[in-house]
Structure 1
Amino acid sequence: MTTSTVNHLLKQMTIKEKIAQLLQLAGPFFKGSDQQGQITGPMAEMPIEEEHILNSSSVLGVSGAKEVISIQQKHLEENRLGIPLLFMADIVHGYKTIFPVPLAIGCSWDLELAKKSTEIAAKEAAVSGVHVTFAPMVDLVRDPRWGRVMESTGEDPHLNSLFAKAFVEGFQKENLTSDTESVAACVKHFAAYGAAQAGRDYNTVDLSERQLRESYLPAYKAALDAGCEMVMTAFNTVDGIPATGNKELMRDLLREEWGFDGVLISDWGAVKELIAHGVAEDEKEAAKKAILAGLDIEMMTACYAQYLEELVEQGEIDIKLIDEAVLRILTLKEKLDLFNNPCRGASIEAEKAIVGHADHRKASRDLAAKSTVLLKNNHQTLPLSRNQKIALIGPFGDSNDLLGPWAGVGVKDEAVTMIKALKDHLPENNLIFSEGSSIEKITQSQLDEALQAASQADVVVLALGESSSMSGEANSRTNIQLPQAQLELIKTVAKEGKPVVTVLFNGRPLDLHGVVEHSDALLEAWFPGTEGGNALVDLLYGKVSPSAKLSMSFPYNVGQVPVYYNHFNTGRPKGAPDAQEHYVSDYMDSPNDPLFPFGFGLSYTSFAYDQFELSTDELTADSVIEASIRVKNTGSCSGEEIVQLYIRDFSGEIVRPVKELKDFCRISLEPGESEIIRFSIKEEQLRYHHKDLSFTSDAGKFEVFAGPNSQDTHSLFFTLKMKGGHTS
């Protein structure tokens, strides 16, 4: 089917058929679904007519080749014009083979492995009948109280943008039409959902437009520049208007300024929520505001289905708005070749062979190891030796709750647990296990058993953390410490005097008081996915040396949040020379800095940085400065290091961050080996949004930093010289 044919098809459609194309429904509404008719809860109250279902554009949350084929075939038997359905699902960090949560993937700083993870997720999902994934989620996150930080790759606009591009390229590959192992990507949540006030899900976002453009929009733009086919609106307000009905954000910025002509879909129920937000009196007004804003598909409410035709008849909206939305939906179906191949890549036989393939699990294991951050390693406690007797203690020791939220159709029972992986690796007599506590409760008998296990061991490995239900959507927390039961467990076990290695499983940065001081070594494993246990044994025993670096800061305590590395200075920063010591921007009861900063992560070896040099101390619009630094492996084993480059603008028209990540490089060095790392600095890297929102740079003094993280750096200075003082 060609574009002209799609236009011809549009002309044949009645207004009711067109409006139904703008409706997305869950699987139970459709004939052929395994759950057909099982419509419960709020879904049961939706005013959906048979005609809506027969002409709906898409199905939400259904996968599995057999069911998809069944629904599609029955749909086409009854759809007057033979318009196929789109099948959409949340394939966030894996389909059946589950990879680490995206926040963990961000800590890998490994764009190739990230891309590979979405290629595999797409392959498994496509053969199971999925056409569109609601991913990547690229919301910039700075507040770990928000449960959905686990879906993002972190707090930095540059790093998030690189991952957004990699994820989209992995999902969509090079040609959606011919490559049936790809899926269309849907970047979310547009825009600034990660800035929800107080870290409370669905809450208000209130940002200046400059801050929105500077920090929050770049990753969405990177996804779209990579060809992302769809955008999902955010639940939150932007400049006082809910995103789903925000014409300035969706039609003016996204469509007109950025030129996005793909499909725009609401999040679940977000159109009707315009009423609760207080910008629509009823569902009719909600429908009007959403269509005027450029929203194509309404997910799981029926405001469009009920009122768009009436709005057209009353002259309140132009039928052209509906036509352009339908045309975008039909065009996506055409790109996916659904008119020629309605079931696309869905295959019951291929599904059995491909989904959960051993090669896919191997990739998950590799990425889990690359995503686990070594936060502490006193006295070279790690790596362990197979000759040591290990006491594995804690609620995650024998837990398969390793997949995390939004785990596709992953099966917890198929996840490799810590105890299984250790049993496979160690002599039988060198492993003792005690649960120690549950996630949130502890008994004296559990404590006694844990102490007994610790007393018999050479080393204690504590497996602690949050359950997956404590992170993710609608799981915001004000207390981001480990539950008290686990804090009591670690404090009690540490008194036994044995070396303590703590492995953390969680979906957000935590306040680690009560953990870090009782741990000789500390591994942040996040929710590591299907092969989590094996990946952690690879790390614990030195088969792999940790190389991950935090992509989101760990606060000293919750009272600091939001805490992030690329903050602004105040007029009285700590140590301000012209202020009395007490009268500076400081806490009375806490340091300003996080416990573990952005970019931080240790290795089993050590690296020394020296010989930091700039090729020149002057930069112009047409020149390049080469920044070079020598990195040497000063330890006793090979290792990978992520060398990071940051820049600070000392005097801008607008206040600038104390430093901003501009580049990074991964290197692998043998003991005693060194390498000169070179970065290119160009004028375009110094641009930012000025008061008039122009994207330009300012002449003047800059500081460039290089090092292993955002705090421990070497620095030098250069000057940008421009005609007229700034350039675009």
Structure 2
Amino acid sequence: MKHLLFRLHLFLMGMLVATATSYAQKSPDAMNRFIDDLMKKMTLDEKIGQLNLPVTGQITTGQAKSSDVAKRIRAGEVGGLFNLKGVERIREVQKQAVEESRLGIPLLFGMDVVHGYETIFPIPLGLSCTWNMQAIEESAHIAAIEASADGICWTFSPMVDVCRDPRWGRISEGNGEDPFLGAAIARSMIRGYQGKNMSRNDEIMACVKHFALYGASEAGRDYNTVDMSRQRMFNEYMLPYQAAVEEGVSSVMASFNEIDGIPATGNEWLLTDVLRKQWGFDGFVVTDYTGITEMTAHGMGDTQTVAALALNAGVDMDMVSDAFSSTLKKSLKEGIVSMETIDVACRRILEAKYKLGLFENPYKYCDKARARKQIFTKEHRAVARKTASESLVLLKNENNLLPLAKKGTVAVIGPLANSRSNMPGTWSVAAVLNNAPSLVEGLKEVVGKQVEILTAKGCNLMSDNEYEKRATMFGRTLHRDNRTDQQLLDEALAIAAKSDVIVAALGESSEMSGESSCRTNLEMTDTQRFLLQELLKTGKPVVLVLFTGRPLVLTWEQQHVPAILNVWFGGSEAALAIGDVLFGDVNPSGKLTATFPKNVGQIPLFYAHKNTGRPLAQGEWFQKFRSNYLDVDNEPLYPFGYGLSYTTFSYSDIHLDKTSITGKEELTATVTVTNTGTKDGAEVIQLYIRDLVGSTTRPVKELKGFEKIFLKAGKSKEVSFKITSELLKFYNYTMEYVTEPGEFEVMIGGNSRDVKKTGFRLEPLIP
């Protein structure tokens, strides 16, 4: 009897799949008809079940665990699972859903595939410093290939939160401080993940996060309050999210923070009025980890109250809280939520599964042969190596110390010199940490027998043992050395004495940035600063290879260290990429996407600031009764867009093909860029515009275009940018998206500070 029932179940499943397939072939209304038919068969419990996203398997984030998940899957009470790794395990769980539940509805399988799956690319902040949209899209595509080969069909990426406070740990997961660049990267990432329409089995569903404003948390402290005007929201923070929606992102994750006094997870204005009505988003909204029940701590009510608040606001799927599954039936009975609202949320989840092709083939992402052939491949790693080399930012190169010659002896000294597990960086949850060579191993592979590489730890990450434990979680330990500080230093100095050049591998460990890794002191840790000082005293040339997930305060280092190469955390191939740049096989071309301050007291510090009524005169440090500090000037240590090369570039004056346009016209701004050095190299040409007079105050400059070019030594190239009235729009005081006639300044250069300038006028339209 049991055998007959199972065969009948398979027959009905086959009919369901056939219906999905035939609908897809017959008409564009196929999905709606299919889901209408399916929802007529669903019970209330099964509908609410689709809104439930528990965590199981390898718990890689958060603290909660869901029990009896398999039982709930068979009961149709689960819509998806996340952070379950391995195609065989995922296939087994999917089988429970499609062959052992009443209606056989397939599950979504999501994971934090943030900057690669097992082939790890640079952390997103580092990746953004490539300014290479093609490379960024390719990184997402490779991540999708590998994740999908291992059973994953949904990634909680891209993270597009604009951040202007490097104390916030999660600045490492985003694209820096600029909304225009962030929007371009959001589009590239979504194209890379989702492909054309997610019809292929190597295309997966993206989830833009964290909606919204998460990067502006007060005091740079994670999960903290955000409070700003709506004009500032839309002019400075919202563009990357909107770009993601316009690019067709299939899901959106609500952020932890509150907005206008209401947590984003329960904010109807945000999730319905803006996201759906204003921007036209037609996918589904998922909470962040336990986002619904966390509203209780915000002071919004008990679990039943906040669950209803979230559903009514526009949340469709509850990640981990179990708030929907435990309260919505009661809330429906009491009239707090409606059946229509539950149906709409359920439909959105089913639509996502339909668009992914899971009804047609629940095992679309469960091909074991792909897992064996398409993960951590030689080809993928070669791309990751090249991309990582583009992300490195040369901050200082006194007397052309870099690149190093492939000869002699190089000492690689520091707590990050010989650690594999820290190379991939934070939020690399699927990485096999031992796959990434350490910096020492990578340099040895790059130089072969031409250079002798010596190494010593030199110091622990910091003197505070408890702090180091907090900074080396999730298997990223640096194996604290129990020798005395003097013993560690003596060993390092002995190694340094045998060398021609010292490479100091210092900075942050990978878990010193990322979620819940906020810092108030952004200077080099005590032990590392002392080690660096002692290495400089040797008189040997010192190159600081700086690992970091955020802008650090490097004022002392800039003054005393001859060469500084910021390597972020470059992923599984980082060590090889660093070697490529250090020894000149690759000319660095990375440009900063976040401003580096001179001290934490300047924070928040960003290039697109507004003037006060008493601005400090250009080039001045201090003027009484002006907007400045007594102890430091207003300028950053390294400005947005900054990055050196082993060659040099010059810019001609800007040529405009016209000096005034009407609202319907466009003008072209052109510069000639020349490689004036002796090495071939790449340069990022950046266009900034300033609206000189507005109905509301406007920033001193805003990024409005960029292009990365490669020039051979001595060669020149004309680079042109089209400027249209659309490029000049902003949200005015009454929240209208407008272009205002008047005078505009055009700036083009290699960073936000060093630019050529000219201007034009936008004439009013004549009716």
What residue is the counterpart of 1:120 in the other structure? 142
Mapped contact 2:74–2:102 kept (Cα < 8 A): no
Match in the other structure for 1:31: none
Between the aligned partners of 2:579 and 2:201, the Cα distance in structure 1 is 36
Tell me whether 1:352 sits opposite 2:377 in the alignment.
no
The answer as to whether partners of 1:491 and 1:514 remain within 8 angstroms in 2 is: no
Residue of 305, 308, 319 corresponding to 1:288: 308
Q: What letter corresponds to residue 292 of structure 2 in structure 1?
A: V
Q: Distance in 2 between matches of 1:364 and 1:524?
A: 17
- Is 2:584 the partner of 1:562? no
Tell me the CA shift for residue 345 of structure 1: 2.2
1:343 maps to amino acid: Y
Query: What is the match of residue 647 of structure 2?
Result: 605
Q: Contact conserved, 2:217 with 2:226, CA < 8 A, in 1? A: yes
Distance of aligned partners of 1:427 and 1:50 in 2 relative to their CA distance in 1, 3 Å threshold:
closer
1:543-566 Cα distance to aligned partner (Å, 9 max, x none): 110011001111111111111000
Structure 2 vs 1, CA of residues 187 and 612 (structure 1 numbering), >3 Å: closer, same or farther?
same
Aligned to 2:354: 334
Aligned counterparts of 1:506 and 1:205: Cα–Cα separation in 2: 25
* Structure-2 change in CA distance of 1:536 and 1:262 (3 Å): same
Which ranges of structure 2 fall in alignment gaps of 5 or more residues? 1-19, 21-29, 464-483
- TM-score when normalising by structure 2: 0.91
2:74–2:96 Cα contact (<8 Å) kept: no
Distance in 2, matches of 1:125 and 1:53, equals 27
Does residue 498 of structure 1 match 2:519? no
**CA distance in structure 2 between the partners assigned to 1:649 and 1:148 by the alignment:** 31
Match for residue 298 of structure 2?
Answer: 277
Q: Is the 8 A contact 2:653 2:756 kept in 1?
A: no
Q: Tell me the residue number matched to 1:486.
A: 528
Tell me the equivalent position of 2:409: 389
Q: 1:153 aligns with which of 144, 156, 175?
A: 175
Q: Which deviates further from its counterpart, 362-371 or 436-445?
A: 436-445
Q: What corresponds to 1:10 in structure 2? A: 39
Q: How has the CA–CA distance of structure 1 residues 107 and 582 changed in structure 2, closer, same or farther, with 3 Å as cutoff?
A: same
Q: Could you say which residue in structure 2 is the equivalent of 1:200?
A: 221
- Cα pair 1:646 1:663 within 8 Å, conserved: yes
Alignment-mate amino acid for residue 372 of structure 1: L
The letter of the residue matching 1:394 is: G
Q: The residue matched to 1:663 in structure 2 has which SS? A: strand
- The separation in 2 between residues aligned to 1:644 and 1:240, in whole angstroms, is 37
Are residues 1:409 and 2:451 paired? Answer: no
Distance of 2:629 and 2:497 partners within structure 1: 41
Q: What is aligned with 1:303?
A: 323
The answer to whether the 8 A contact 1:500-1:518 is kept is no
Q: Which residue of 1 aligns with 2:257?
A: 236
**Equivalent position amino acid for 1:350 in 2:** R
Q: Secondary structure at the match of 1:43?
A: coil
Q: Distance in 2 between matches of 1:525 and 1:453?
A: 23
Residue aligning to 2:84: 62
User: Pairwise mapping of residues 133-148 of structure 1 onto structure 2 (< 5 A)?
Assistant: 133-148=155-170
CA contact (8 A) 2:75 2:102 kept: no
Instruction: Show the counterpart of 2:684.
Output: 642
**Separation in 2, partners of 1:380, 1:697:** 46
Q: In structure 2, give the amino acid aligned to 1:139.
A: D
1:18-57 matched pairs, under 5 angstroms: 18-28=47-57, 42-43=64-65, 50=72, 54-57=76-79
Distance 1:531 1:51, change over 3 A: closer
What displacement does 1:480 show?
A: 1.1
Q: 1:571 Cα deviation (Å)?
A: 0.4
Q: How does 1:417-566 map to 2 (within 5 A)?
A: 417-424=438-445, 425-427=447-449, 430-441=452-463, 443-566=485-608
* Contact preservation (8 Å) 2:668, 2:722: yes
- Take 1:426 and 1:490, find their aligned partners in 2: how far apart are those partners? 27
1:160-180 residue CA offsets vs partner (Å, 9 max, x unmatched): 000000000000001213x00
Alpha-carbon distance between aligned partners in 1 of 2:66 and 2:453, rounded to the nearest angstrom: 52
What does residue 222 of structure 1 align with? 243
Note if contact 2:747-2:756 (Cα within 8 Å) is conserved in structure 1: yes
TM-score, normalisation: structure 1: 0.95
Check whether the contact 1:201–1:474 (CA below 8 A) recurs between aligned residues. yes
Is this contact kept in 2: 1:94–1:408, CA < 8 A? no
Residue number among 142, 164, 170 corresponding to 2:186 in the alignment:
164
> For the Cα contact (< 8 Å) 1:391–1:431, is it kept in 2?
yes
One-letter identity of the residue aligned with 2:157:
A
Structure 2: distance between partners of 1:19 and 1:570: 52
Does the 8 Å contact 2:118/2:375 carry over to 1? yes
How many residue pairs align between the two structures?
A: 716
Report deviation, 1:141.
0.7
Q: Does 1:596 pair with 2:625? A: no
In the alignment, is the contact (CA less than 8 A) between 2:672 and 2:716 conserved in 1? yes
Cα drift, residue 598 of structure 1: 0.4
Seen in structure 2, the aligned counterparts of structure 1 residues 40 and 221 have a Cα distance that, compared at 3 Å, is: closer
Which residue is 1:584 aligned to?
626
CA–CA separation in structure 2 for the residues paired with 1:349 and 1:45: 31
1:421 counterpart SS class: helix
Q: Letter of the aligned partner of 2:179 in structure 1?
A: P
- CA deviations on 1:691-711 (whole Å, 9 max, x unpaired) are 111111111111110111000
Distance 1:53 1:558 in 2: 53
Instruction: Sort the Cα spacing of 1:710 and 1:73 in 2 relative to 1 into closer, same or farther, 3 A.
Output: same
Paired position in structure 1 for 2:340: 320
| Preserved contact between residue 406 and residue 451 of structure 2 (Cα < 8 Å) | no
User: Unaligned regions of 5+ residues in structure 1, if any?
Assistant: 29-33
The aligned residue for residue 201 of structure 2 is 180
Give, as a single letter, the amino acid of the residue that structure 2 aligns with 1:238: I
Q: Which amino acid in the other structure matches residue 8 of structure 1?
A: D
Determine which of 709, 720, 729 is the counterpart of 1:678.
720
Q: CA deviation at 1:45?
A: 8.7
How many angstroms does 1:123 deviate by?
Answer: 0.4
Letter of the structure 1 residue corresponding to residue 81 of structure 2: V
In the alignment, the residues of structure 2 paired with residue 429 and residue 711 of structure 1 have an alpha-carbon distance, to the nearest angstrom, of 38
* Contact 1:98–1:408 (CA under 8 A) maintained in structure 2: no
Does the residue aligned with 1:680 lie in a helix, a strand or coil? strand
For 1:262, the aligned partner's letter is G
Q: Per-residue CA shift, 1:165-220, capped at 9, x if unaligned?
A: 0000000001213x000110000000000000010000000011111111111101
Please tell me whether residue 88 in structure 1 is matched to residue 130 in structure 2.
no
Distance (whole Å) between structure 1 residues aligned to residue 618 and residue 118 of structure 2: 54
AA paired with 1:452? Answer: A
Q: Which residue of 2 aligns with 1:260?
A: 281
Letter paired with 2:262? I
